Homo-oligomer: A and B are copies of this chain.
Amino acid sequence: MAALEAVEAVQDGDTVLVGGFGMAGMPVELIDALIEHGASNLTIVSNNAGNGDTGLAALLAAGRVRKVICSFPRQSDSWVFDGLYRAGKIDLELVPQGNLAERMRAAGAGIGAFYSPTAVGTPLASGKEVRVIDGREYLLEYPIRGDVALIKAHKSDRMGNLVYRKTARNFGPVMATAAAVTIAQVSSIVDSLDPEAVVTPAIYVNRLVVA
């Protein structure tokens, strides 16, 4: 499927989960297609908030994003986000990296909420329910669901089973489970994969784009 056709699943106002940790696992071609597609008023869930002037940063620069949910927006080359944030043009929900992953996992796994020990006693605990379990404090965390997930994998088979490459795996498998529609960018579609080594089963993948 062409990238532009695939990202037509994204509608104005959607929450879009975007894979990648820095550039590793970043679905650059899908993001470029999303910019071309033109959907706006988006909430983006991703570990970072864009680097340099391409990819996620370009989506932000185009004014399509109203809110970013991420763990680490501030980087040496995150000038696009920085500018929008300081100008009050973009909302930020800062989530510790592990809670970000676990909240998406909860969305995909049908868990209504969970108690996490991360961020107890910190400013990011503000407004969250605290519960003591076995003498330890935990915060109640809710799922983060996506309307669409844009992820990058290494290879797929024709059914949509996915394998990844090294640390580019990062958020892809979790995001694939947490979105209503998952679009995976892969380097190639192969005839078969080892069933023991499939990381994302095809049930979680709705559209495949070779890029």
Could you tell me the distance between the alpha carbons of A37 and B195 in the complex, rounded to whole angstroms? 37
Quick one: which of B112, B138, B165 contacts A112, CB cutoff 8 A?
Answer: B138
How close is A206's CB to chain B, nearest CB, in angstroms?
23
How close is A192's CB to chain B, nearest CB, in angstroms?
15
What are the interface flags for A96-118 relative to B under an 8 Å C-beta threshold, 1 for contact and 0 otherwise? 00000010001001111111110
Number of A residues with CB within 8 Å of any CB on chain B: 26
Interface residues of A in 25-79 (CB under 8 A from B): none
Could you tell me the distance between the alpha carbons of A197 and B113 in the complex, rounded to whole angstroms? 30
Contact A196 B164 (CB under 8 A): yes
Could you tell me the distance between the alpha carbons of A195 and B166 in the complex, rounded to whole angstroms? 8
Contact A115 B117 (CB under 8 A): no
A106, A111, A136: which has the most chain B beta carbons within 10 Å?
A111
How close is A88's CB to chain B, nearest CB, in angstroms?
30
Quick one: which of B102, B112, B163, B164 contacts A136, CB cutoff 8 A?
Answer: B112
How close is A75's CB to chain B, nearest CB, in angstroms?
28
Could you tell me the distance between the alpha carbons of A83 and B166 in the complex, rounded to whole angstroms? 51
A128 within 8 A of B: no
Contact B115 A131 (CB under 8 A): no
A133 within 8 A of B: yes
A85 within 8 A of B: no
A21 within 8 A of B: no
Jot down 18 A-B pairs with beta carbons below 8 A, ordered by A.
Answer: A102-B109, A102-B111, A106-B114, A111-B114, A111-B115, A112-B116, A112-B131, A112-B133, A112-B136, A113-B114, A113-B115, A113-B138, A114-B115, A163-B196, A164-B196, A196-B197, A196-B199, A197-B197
Could you tell me the distance between the alpha carbons of A104 and B59 in the complex, rounded to whole angstroms? 40
Interface residues of A in 172-209 (CB under 8 A from B): 194-197, 199
- By beta carbon, the residue of chain B nearest A138 is B112
What are the interface flags for A149-171 relative to B under an 8 Å C-beta threshold, 1 for contact and 0 otherwise? 00000000000000111100000
